Amino acid sequence: MNLKEELMKIVGPEAVLDDPDALEPYTVRHSLWPTLWPNVVVSAGNMEESQKVIQFANEKKVPLKPSSSGVHFRESGPILGGILLDLSKMKGITKIDNRNRKVTVEPGVTWGELTEELKKQGMRTILPLVPHTDSSVLVSCLERDPSVIPMFEYGELILSMQMIWPTGELFRTGSAATIGFGKEGNLAEGCYPYGPGPIDAMRLMQGAQGTMGTALWGNIKTERLPVVNKSYFIPFEHSEDVVEAIYAILRKRIGHECFAVNSVDLAGLLAKDMATDYVKLEKKLPPWSVLMILSGAKYFPEDKIAYEKEALFEVRNHVFPFTEILDVIPGYGSTKSLPGLLRNPWPAGETYWKERFKGACQDLFFITTMEKAPVFVDTVRQIAAEQGYDQREIGMYIQPIEFGAGAHVEFNLFYDPDNAEEIETVKQVYTESIKEALRLEAHFTRPYGKVTADLVYEKAASYTMLAKKTKEILDPNNIMNPGTLCF
């Protein structure tokens, strides 16, 4: 069988690439470890083509990895070669439903495109921390990127979706599942996420890095874009104080955006110019900052902000009375620009904020409880020091989730991608930190890359056993992105 020729019969000759220069953009950028390339990239423009390619791969037992984004940051490349199914041309924002607060997007729709489109209607989706403008919204939601708004009500962003199982069957989830969905007389609008029946394909697809199926469109939650905001900057010396403050604030169910970053990450986000501005800013910022935005709602927005502000300051008086709640960021200026920064992806055409500092960044992240976050901060700092990495250059980000019931804790290890010694050091810091974090019961819900996945799954024997069984049941030929997780 000539793989390329067979695929060209399905999607046409222009949509199949195997030239090394053409394949390069599909590899992971700035990977610490060698990235293997696909044998061939197939660009699918619609559902029918995607399904035929997956059916072909399943029939011929050829590995296949779906890809939607214009950028590839994470260590989840096609490690066994095969077909890379490029869905980035599927860019439909096919329905904006403001009544039920959702939008239907295809996998190629990026944060940049969707944010602009929704803004025209006074709506927004809930973003992760300043995502790359070219990254896929649907993949971000499927991969559970944490949102900067820890409100429980704004969580669980995927309401329903259409997907293809590894064996090639089309399937719709949640209340979009009826066969007449979208047709006359069928009232369903796809607003409910779970099922159909006793298994939940949406859950199985989440965090699966393309190993359990391929999403073709998703109904994603939207919210009203607030027009009145009040942004605050709360400085802290110690991460222990940060988490106690956030626990108390979020217990009141107030505010929209709320998270903590250290001075390295905040300077990277705020600096206008890295050459001149970054160092000055980083020195003026406190070790830790909590950023918080109170937002008005549709009715009497100022009144809403007023009661939330009162509650916030009451918490301050009781829990962190010696800390100021400010509307000015030292070395930067007013907090008024924070909604613009946090409700948009990083500006197109500018070097992404995680790559501004040294050119590349290896993220290390996991889920833990808020109260344990400081333990991990100390641990990673200590390991960095032991490995010869300047701990003052580590970016740190604590994102409370669901009112602080859990936290996404992230360490950004910045490095020069052309410096082999630095790469080696970061590898060591990264690997040793994972081992120690696992010992401390960090919960790695998204293990990207073989090094991470091997370490994490080894510590979770029963989960790994069931994940493997599930994979065998749903993907008997193991075609979907094999070798990526524990199978």
Partner 1 sequence: MIPQEIYRTLEAIVGPENISQDPEIRQAYRNKDRAFINPETETLGTTPDIVILPATTEEVQKIVKVASRYKIGYTPSITFWTPQAGARFEGCLHIDFKRMDSLEIDAKNMNATVGAGVNFAQLQAEALKHGLYTVVPGGGSQVGVIPNHLLFGFSPLTYRAGLAPRRIMGVEWILPGGELVRLGSFASGSDGFWGEGIGPDLRGLLRGHIGWLGSLGIVTRMCVRLLPFHTAKLKPMQMDRHTFFMLPTDRQKWYNFSCPNKDVMVEFMYEIAHAEIAAAMTRVPIAWRYIARSGSKEQFWKLWPEDPEEKRKEVAEFMINRVMLIGYASEKQLEYEEKVLMAIGEKLGCTLRRTRQMDGSWMQSGDAVTMWYLTGTFMSTTGQLDSLDASVQSGVEFAKMKKTYTPPLMEDHGDRGWFQMNDFGHSGYLEFILHSDQDAGPEEGLKITEFYHFASPKLVAAVGGLNFFNQIMSPLGHDSPLYGPNYGDFARKVKEGLDPDNVSNPPGVLDTLDKVIDMNPQLKAMKDW
**Which residue, 389 or 457, has its beta carbon nearer to partner 1?**
457
> Looking only at residues 110 through 149 of this chain, which bind partner 1 when binding is defined by CB under 8 A?
144
Q: Which two tokens stand for residue 398?
A: 């604590």
Q: Which two tokens stand for residue 352?
A: 């992404």
CB of 210 to partner 1, least distance (A): 10
Residues contacting 65, CB < 8 A, separation 6+: 38, 77, 78, 82, 83, 84, 85, 210, 480, 481, 484
With CA atoms as reference, report the closest residue to 260 among 215, 223, 292. Answer: 292
Dihedral, CA of residue 358, residue 363, residue 364 and residue 368, to nearest 10: 120
CA distances from 340 to 53, 61, 111, 273, 344 (A): 41, 47, 14, 18, 6
> Looking only at residues 148 through 187 of this chain, which bind partner 1 when binding is defined by CB under 8 A?
152-156, 159, 165, 169, 171-172, 174-175, 177-181, 185-187
How far apart are the C-alpha atoms of 200 and 58, rounded to whole Å?
22
Q: Does 435 bind partner 1 (CB under 8 A)?
A: no
**Which residue, 252 or 435, has its beta carbon nearer to partner 1?**
252
> Looking only at residues 337 through 356 of this chain, which bind partner 1 when binding is defined by CB under 8 A?
none
> Among residues 190, 395, 449, 482, which is the contact residue for partner 1, using CB under 8 A?
190
> Looking only at residues 268 through 327 of this chain, which bind partner 1 when binding is defined by CB under 8 A?
297-300, 303-304, 306-308, 310-311, 314
> Looking only at residues 365 through 384 of this chain, which bind partner 1 when binding is defined by CB under 8 A?
367, 369-371
> Looking only at residues 213 through 272 of this chain, which bind partner 1 when binding is defined by CB under 8 A?
221, 224, 247, 250-254
Q: Does 1 bind partner 1 (CB under 8 A)?
A: no
Taking residues 194 to 213 in sequence order and writing x for each that binds partner 1 by CB under 8 A, - otherwise, the string is xxxxxxxxxxxxxxxx-xx-
CB of 484 to partner 1, least distance (A): 8
CA distances from 231 to 278, 300, 398, 408 (A): 22, 18, 18, 22
Size of interface with partner 1, in residues (CB under 8 A): 104
**Which residue, 280 or 298, has its beta carbon nearer to partner 1?**
298
Q: Does 478 bind partner 1 (CB under 8 A)?
A: no
Of 48-56, 94-102, 273-281, 383-391, the segment contacting partner 1 by CB under 8 A is 94-102
CB of 362 to partner 1, least distance (A): 19
How far apart are the C-alpha atoms of 201 and 192, rounded to whole Å?
13
CA distances from 104 to 68, 172, 207, 218, 427 (A): 15, 13, 20, 6, 39
How far apart are the C-alpha atoms of 165 and 58, rounded to whole Å?
10
**Which residue, 38 or 447, has its beta carbon nearer to partner 1?**
447
